[in-house]
Amino acid sequence: MDEEIDKILYDAETIQARVAELAARITEDYRGEELTVVAVLTGALIFTADLLRRIPLPLKLDCVSVASYHGAAETSGEVKFDQLSLPDIEGRHVLIVDDILDSGLTLDAIMAKFHKDCGPLSVRICVLLSKRRARRKEIAADYVGFEIENEFVVGYGMDYLEKYRNLRYVGVLAERIK
């Protein structure tokens, strides 16, 4: 797989160091609170696993599954919830964890759904990456690992056509692959 990557943006060590910093901030911010972390499948799996093991709080973990990409490299604009039941977050502080904030459509839809149907006390967002671009929904993440340029990245949970999620680093896919 490595030969299909043009450049490595963040190697495994750099990612782990940044994840530790984010975890430390989150731990301080939610100390003494009832926290539920909601991971956005599938891209956030690896980031969430590393992040949570560095947050020594009595938190709960849940997941949501949404689809907007349908295998393409640009979002279709429509966000669909794949799950029948939504997480039980009534009266809880919620931290949504996702891999990357791009157009903003996904996280905006999840936020809106939670506020409308689930009765959380608060909802914040943590992403590993935030793309510098004009968002289609004005949404800001509360915890951001790295700000990146508007290019398509894979690895550390993120895919292109379901491949590359298991890379230990975040990299830019070679143009010839897309």
12-51 binders of ligand IMP (CB under 6 A) = 40, 43
Contact 87, 40 (CB under 8 A): no
Q: Does 43 bind Mg ion (CB under 5 A)?
A: yes
Give CA torsion, residues 135, 139, 141, 142, to 10 deg: 150
Q: Are 19 and 144 in contact (CB under 8 A)?
A: no
Q: Stretches 6-14, 53-61, 100-108, 112-120: which one binds ligand IMP (CB under 6 A)?
A: 100-108
Residue 87 contacts ligand IMP per CB under 6 A: no
Q: Interface with Mg ion includes 120 (CB under 5 A)?
A: no
102 binds ligand IMP (CB under 6 A): yes
Nearest-angstrom CA–CA distance, 110 and 44: 14
Nearer to ligand IMP, 90 or 151 (CB): 151
Does an H or E element contain 18, and which? helix 12-30
Interacting residues toward ligand IMP by CB under 6 A: 40, 43, 68-69, 75, 98-106, 152-154, 158
